[in-house]
Homo-oligomer: A and B are copies of this chain.
Amino acid sequence: MIVVMNYQADKNDIQSVVNRLEGLGFKIHLSEGVERTIIGAVGDKTQINDVALEAMPGVEKVVPIMHQYKLASKVFKKESTIVKVKGLEIGGGKLQVMAGPCAVESREQLLEAAKQVKEAGGTILRGGAFKPRTSPYSFQGLEEEGLKLLAEASEATGMPIVTEVMDASALPLIREYADILQIGARNMQNFFLLRKVAKENKPVLLKRSPSATIEEWLMAAEYILAEGNFDVILCERGIKSFETYTRNTLDLTAVPVVKYLSHLPVIVDPSHAIGDWRFVGDMSKAAVVSGADGLMIEVHPNPPEALCDGKQSLTPENFKKLMKELNIIANTLGKSLNDS
């Protein structure tokens, strides 16, 4: 950590900062320039999160040097984490495609979607039973009934289930049905929920908040890892920008960046990022090439009738076509879809 003193700081100001840091156990390097003094502090940075040096007289700014996350870092764990769920591996050589409808709407809809996803080569079934919706007047999910239908679809197809936990109070229910617990983008910094979900001893799929930097996303993962649960799958699903043509801006560069900084697997959800089925196929393929360990894609038997996110859902036919193309691309990269 570097403390930059302002040009008006006097000796007392500097000494106070040095004393403060030394009192916290830091080793100090002092660099007195013509214009200003710079104080380097080496030590356990976790302490420093709670010290407001900028509030001390004469301090211009504090420049952090190291990342705040540890357990999520490649420095801490060099080999890639492989998350296992019912015999499938996320983060290994095979790509997993999680697919299904945005929301579980009915038995017929879900079973049909699951069947089509399975046939096309999808390996994990997604579907929301509890739905976070911008409008209180929108469909909010079938709740327990939806979970039961997911279980039935899972049994029928053999695919494990990933579904969102919106609130810790629903955990006792959801844990009975879900194989992977999803933290939605809006809950990425719901630290209370992160801790609770972490303790379930199940893989956690952590979506990136649309307003989170990559570092904030890894810090959210750190909450889960700090509870002893290393089975975290990161999921990029678009960030906020000024561009309005797409729902959000898919930050695909985050995939190789996360792979560079962390050992955790990362998948991509182009459906939510883009919000328009027309571009989901191209960006799914681009995501695989960027290094993603898998995809999460919305598929609905009849998108115009969907109660949620129909605009961004692929039809089963378009999904089947996409899966063929993905398979060819995966093979080109020396990878494969899990089923092939």
Q: Chain A: residues with CB nearer than 8 A to chain B?
A: 2, 4, 7, 20, 29, 31, 33, 35-36, 38, 40, 42, 46, 49-56, 63, 65-66, 68-69, 75, 130, 132-140, 166-169, 186-187, 189-193, 209-211, 213-216, 219, 222-223, 226, 239-246, 249-257, 260, 273-274, 276-279, 282-283, 285-291, 303-311, 313, 328-329, 332
Contacts and interface: CB of A to CB of B under 8 A. Distances in A.
Nearest to A333: B329
A215 B245 CA distance: 8
A233 to B, nearest CB: 19
A170 to B, nearest CB: 8
A169 B172 CA distance: 13
B50 A138 contact: yes
A242 to B, nearest CB: 4
20 contacts: A46-B135, A49-B138, A52-B311, A55-B303, A55-B311, A68-B135, A69-B135, A134-B216, A167-B193, A187-B190, A190-B190, A213-B243, A239-B243, A240-B241, A243-B251, A244-B244, A253-B283, A282-B290, A288-B289, A289-B289
Nearest to A46: B137
A270 B328 CA distance: 24
A2 B253 contact: no
B256 A282 contact: yes
Which of A51, A243, A253, A288 has the most chain B CB within a 10 Å cutoff? A253
A254 B191 CA distance: 28
A214 to B, nearest CB: 5
B245 A242 contact: no
Contact of A52 (B20, B54, B303): B303
A252 B291 CA distance: 15
B289 A282 contact: yes
Nearest to A74: B7
A201 to B, nearest CB: 18
